[in-house]
C-alpha cells in the first residue's frame, strides 16, 4: 500500500510503502480502509498497489522482515517505480 505523507512541514509530498503480512488479504485491506490498523490509520486514503502470496507463513514473515530493511525498501521502490511516480506528480 502506498500512503501519501508530509515530511515534517516540508511542502513536497513523499510516499511511504506499508509492508505487512496476514492470512486474509481482503479482510486486512478492509481493516486498513476503515482505520482499524494503527500504523496506517492517520495516512488514509491510501492506494493498494500490490501483494505477494506465500504458501508458508514462515516464508511470508521472512519476506516481510526483508522488505522492512533498507535493501528491501530500495527493491520495492525499484519494482513499483512506475506506479509510485504517478503519486508524486
What span, in angstroms and rounded, lies between the C-alpha atoms of 21 and 63? Answer: 9
35-74 pLDDT per residue, tens:
999 988 888 888 888 899 999 999 999 999 999 999 999 9
CA distances from 45 to 36, 64, 69 (A): 13, 23, 25
Which uninterrupted H or E stretch holds 76? helix 70-79
CA 67, 13, 83, 45 torsion-angle sign? positive
For the whole model, what pTM was predicted?
0.74
Query: Mean pLDDT for the chain?
Result: 82
CB-CB contact of 76 with 15 (8 Å): no
Domain extents in the chain:
2-87
Q: What percent of the chain has pLDDT over 70?
A: 81
Q: What does the pLDDT average to over 18-24? A: 90
- Classified as helix, coil or strand, 12 is strand
Amino acid at each position: 500500500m502506498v500512503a501519501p505523507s508530509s515530511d515534517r512541514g516540508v511542502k513536497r509530498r513523499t510516499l511511504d510503502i506499508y509492508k505487512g503480512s496476514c492470512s486474509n488479504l481482503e479482510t486486512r485491506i478492509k481493516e486498513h480502509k476503515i482505520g482499524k490498523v494503527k500504523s496506517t490509520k492517520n495516512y488514509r486514503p491510501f492506494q493498494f498497489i500490490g501483494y505477494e502470496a506465500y504458501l508458508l507463513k514462515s516464508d511470508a514473515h521472512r519476506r516481510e522482515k526483508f522488505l522492512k530493511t533498507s535493501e528491501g525498501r530500495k527493491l520495492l521502490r525499484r519494482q513499483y517505480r512506475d506506479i509510485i511516480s504517478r503519486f508524486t506528480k
